[in-house]
Structure 1
Amino acid sequence: MLEGAVGVASRDSSRAREFAERHEIPKSYGSYRELAADPDVDIVYVGIINPEHLKVALLMLAAGRNVLCEKPLAMNLHEVQQLVGAARDKNLFLMEGLWTRFFPVSKAIRALLKENSVGEIKIVKAEFGMHMMETPRLVEKELGVDEAVTIVLKYPRKRMAMITVSMATQLTNQATICGTKGTITVPGYMWCPTSLVVNGKVQEFPLPPPSQPLNFTNSTGLRYEADQVRQCLQKGLKECPELPLAESELIMSILDEARRQLGVVYAQDSLKQERLLIV
């Protein structure tokens, strides 16, 4: 049985029921509204397709449910701000599901940077790419996914970050942080890392063994994110100190600007303009 899971919802009640039976979850719901109305639910994990995040997360918040919403939190900054405002109005917990943030490797990197172990950071590089063009939900533009892109971020004191993603080709899938005194490298699968190379020295951070077959690489690492959320709720926090809502807003503002420069427009962008015209 999934620890603490009290129910699962789907627009297809048979799929929800089958999933609940397979994982020994007590309840299943044939709609998200049914789940939102259940008083036994303390927090809802919203893991549906990106364009539906806003609508379903707002539904949960309106019903008084805390929310952990899968990345991206929404489709643009305006939508993110809607969610943040709704959570604060209801005095509820809200967090974006950036699971990488909570891996032991990520915590080790933050400690190394705080200790100035590699000096002043000058360049950060990250690659994420694999062959996924045969996956229908990833090649539909309306779902908010692009085939390939490189983003270059420039910071004061001649510092830069370069991020490349692709669904059409295999990339190194590693991240490198280059400082004036050394280098930190996160080898392959940098989004769910289990090792770290600091100035040539390897550090291992093995994951707990899975209790059942996995759908994705190292997905037992989701437990770190779930545990962080549990701790926040136990402390009565409304946002996570390690991933505050202001950071989700900042990330989305950067993505919005990148799309603007690339000329990529989502349907949700035009909806925002329509709202402004109505007001």
Structure 2
Amino acid sequence: MMLVFVLRHTVKTDTMAPPCGGERPLWPTPTVNQCQSNMATRWGICSAGKISNDFTVALKTLPPGDHQVVAVAARKLDDAQEFAKKHSIPRAYGGYEALARDPDIDVVYIGVIHPYHLSTCLLFTNAKKNVLCEKPLAMNAKEAKQILASAKENDVFFMEAVWTRFFPVSVEIRRLLAQGEIGEVKMVRSEFGMPLHGVPRVMQKELGAGTMLDLGVYCLQLTCMVYNGEKPESIHATGTFMETGVDDIDVVTLKYSNNRLAVFICRSDIELPNEAVIVGTKGTIRIPGHIWCPTSLVVNGKETKYPVPEPYLPINFINSTGMRYEAEAVRQCLLKGLKESAVMSHADSLLLAEVEDEVRRQIGVVYSQDSQ
């Protein structure tokens, strides 16, 4: 019997500022103060739902001199006012148009569900607002292209909020791969499964439901990050359906050049270990759980922990204070005058959307937006 010993140590992550620009691979860039800025980034929050709550809580874990929430908008004024009171936000709007007209906002966080991403993103980009929009960026690649084109035409910063990319664990993975710590990567395997039957965003087709867009995007983004944005040579997907006509279980295999592979499984009926393994010619990197918000990394048997800060108010989703990393990355991009992040670029978002489309096509999931 072979015994495997795992060595552990913990890394303090409060001072780790995620990267925003430059060539890949990237590792932490200077802090905002080192970038010689003494003004806070002023955020507007679009939607007063659960994810917007958690993003706002995450912002409050950052220095108040660097990030301030100055306004929130919801479809109903009462909801916006309640949200504003809860988080001590100065202004509340009943409607997104008023938020788009607010001259005191540097960047808008969009937390509406993805069937409304196209119209909401266009509202703010056409109003010359910088935008951080929740994932998935859109219902399909066609919509994603429209959003990204509008951001470019209006010369504003835009990023899809794939928050996982900015966690210290992800920063470390990119650094290790760049240094050749595990040699040439030959396989990426990941899984994400949770018992979500009965959750509207996963069940109801009109809400953009389905396992690929809700859970699978996290497995896919990891694969795309590890293979540095390379397009797969082939995609094979199979799966099962819920009674509502959306995908329940997805099994996806992606083949890359030089016989490199990726395989991921996502399902909404049961909880999986939710791990990921990156296998190279010289070693292995493993995310031992919570691949969408990882706080631990095992490299060739040695484990390092990267804890996220404790929230000051209750949060709805695990490790949500980790959204602080993407928020800080946005700030640094704005300070440098960048229009997109090299860590989660426009090309990265489009690649995700295109692969998601192909997976849905092979499985047979069609949304009304696909025919528009």
Which category of TM-score, normalised to the shorter sequence, fits these structures? over 0.9
2:347 counterpart residue number: 246
Cα distance per residue 1:82-114 (max 9 Å; x no partner): 111111111000000000000000010001111
| 1:54 to 2:124 alignment | no
For residues 77 and 202 of structure 2, what CA distance do their matches in structure 1 show?
25
Cα deviation, residue 63, structure 1:
1.0
In structure 2, what is the equivalent of residue 256 of structure 1? 357
Q: 1:113 aligns with which of 147, 156, 177?
A: 177
| CA apart distance, 1:134 | 2.2
Q: 1:169 aligns with which of 270, 273, 285?
A: 270
Letter aligned with residue 32 of structure 1: Y
- 1:150 aligns with 251
* Alignment partners' CA distance in 2, 1:198 and 1:153: 24
Corresponding residue number in structure 2 for 1:129: 193
Q: Which moved more, 1:13-22 or 1:241-250?
A: 241-250
Distance 1:261 1:132 in 2: 23
**Aligned pairs (5 A) from 1:62-73:** 62-73=126-137
Match of 1:195 among 291, 296, 301: 296
Secondary structure of the corresponding residue to residue 126 of structure 1: strand
Distance 1:244 1:77 in 2: 15
- Paired residue type of 1:256: D
Partner of 1:76: 140
The farther-off stretch of 130-139 and 43-52 is 130-139
Matched residues, number: 271
Say if 2:201 and 2:208, in contact at 8 Å, map to a contact too. no
User: What residue is the counterpart of 1:24 in the other structure?
Assistant: 88
The alignment partner of 1:41 has SS state of: coil
- TM value normalised by structure 2: 0.71
Give, in angstroms, the shift of residue 145 of structure 1.
2.4
Within 1, Cα distance between the matches of 2:249 and 2:103? 43
Segments of 5+ residues of structure 1 without an aligned counterpart are 272-279
Indicate the SS of the match to 2:69. Answer: coil
Compare 213-222 and 18-27 and name the one that shifted more. 213-222
Alignment match of 1:232 (pick from 310, 316, 333): 333
Q: Structure 2: which 5+ runs fail to align?
A: 1-56, 61-66, 211-247
- Equivalent of residue 209 in structure 1, options 310, 320, 331: 310
Asked whether the 8 Å contact 2:109–2:131 carries over to 1, the reply is: yes
Partner Cα separation in structure 1 for residue 201 and residue 352 of structure 2: 23
Contact 2:187–2:261 (CA under 8 A) maintained in structure 1: yes
Q: Considering Cα pairs closer than 8 Å and 6+ residues apart, tell me whether 1 or 2 has the greater RCO.
A: 2
In structure 2, distance between residues paired with 1:63 and 1:172: 43
Secondary structure at the aligned position of 1:28 is classed as strand
Instruction: Look up the match of 1:265.
Output: 366
Q: Does 1:221 align with 2:285?
A: no
Once the two structures are aligned, what percentage of the paired residues are identical?
A: 52
Deviation readout 1:47-102 (Å, 9 max, x if unpaired): 11110000001001111111110011111111111111111111000000000000
CA offsets 1:115-153 (integer angstroms, 9 cap, x no match): 111111111011111111121232102222222211110
Instruction: Give the match's secondary structure for 2:258.
Output: coil
Instruction: Tell me whether 1:87 sits opposite 2:188 in the alignment.
Output: no
